[in-house]
Amino acid sequence: MKWAGMAERMWPLPRSWNVLSGPPRLKRLLFASAALALLAVFVFLDPLAKLENALVFIPRRYPVGNWRPAGVAFEDAWFRATDGTKLHGWFLPQTRPRAVVLFCHGNEGNVATWADAQAILHDRVGVAVLGFDYSGYGRSEGSPSEAGILADARAARAWLAHRAGIPESQIVVMGRSLGGAVAIDLAAKDGARALVVESTFTSAPDVAHAKLPWLPLRTLMRTQLNSLAKIGNYHSPFLQSRGTDDRLIPFEMGKKLFAAANDPKRFVTIPGGSHNDPQTGAYYVALAEFLSHL
């Protein structure tokens, strides 16, 4: 009963609380058990939150990656998020671009490890593109969080609009996997000329549940990135691509996200494509056609 007395002193039982009826000794014991259980949850959640962050965000800091890729002519872009965090990206200009694209990369790596994807967009699709690093990635300062990476994308688009000399609303927002969730948040809340997502998900807890359905991760996860709840607020052209053999984010999850999106929209299926496979030539043809019709 020592713990019961300590718990009662720390969290005194309200006089108006009549749910626990019975002898005072029993009430103290039940209340102490509940208080200790709550304390155990808080002790457990802190390392769980750190583990969650380590699984959701896998940054690679400079100098990891090829920071001087052959054949890729880029400008270093430096800008700040609203909280003052200094961010970095690569801008690949284009004389007569088919579109101006903000590219939000996946949860692992940095702009240097995603250089090939940006170069293909520039060379094969004919767009001007800014790829940028979230807080804590590459040469960007800080550390990543859900709110942080969403704010980072807004700062990146503001820089890109100024550099390209166009309104932010005329920028095509594009994202891969985690970056798809970032792109959807930006487009759904602030609008975009068009939205393109590759291999992205309905929400972060949905991905966790698909991999570990026996754990209550939907309840415990702090990172939400709930694209399914946001996509309905976006009303401009939308292109989504999905690989049929994606074992990280099930194909049906992508179809569910697409079904919730508004027209005009297009779904590109990549037969046999897994989550980390490069996009196919057929996909880039479809993307170029999509952008040409904007």
User: Do residues 243 and 157 share a domain?
Assistant: yes
User: Do residues 86 and 37 share a domain?
Assistant: no
User: Do residues 158 and 242 share a domain?
Assistant: yes
Rounded Cα–Cα distance for residues 160 and 147 (Å): 20
The token pair at 63 is: 């100098």
Burial call 178-214: b when 16+ CB within 10 Å, e when fewer: bbbbbbbbbbbeebbbbbbbbbbbbbbbbbbbbeeee
Q: State which residues form the domain around 50.
A: 2-56
User: Do residues 120 and 260 share a domain?
Assistant: yes
User: Do residues 110 and 252 share a domain?
Assistant: yes
Count of domains in the chain? 2
User: Do residues 101 and 81 share a domain?
Assistant: yes
User: Do residues 283 and 215 share a domain?
Assistant: yes
User: Do residues 154 and 176 share a domain?
Assistant: yes
- In this prediction the pTM is 0.84
The residue among 56, 71, 88 that closes a domain is: 56
The pLDDT profile of the chain, 294 residues, written as one tens digit per residue, is 444 444 344 444 444 434 444 455 655 555 555 544 444 444 344 556 676 887 899 999 999 999 999 999 999 999 999 999 999 999 999 999 999 999 999 999 999 999 999 999 999 999 999 999 999 999 999 999 999 999 999 999 999 999 999 999 999 999 999 999 999 999 999 999 999 999 999 999 999 999 888 888 788 889 999 999 999 999 999 999 999 999 999 999 999 999 999 999 999 999 999 999 999 999 999 999 999 999
**Coil, strand, or helix at residue 262?**
coil
The token pair at 195 is: 């939205």
Read off the CATH number of the domain in which 84 is found. Answer: 3.40.50.1820
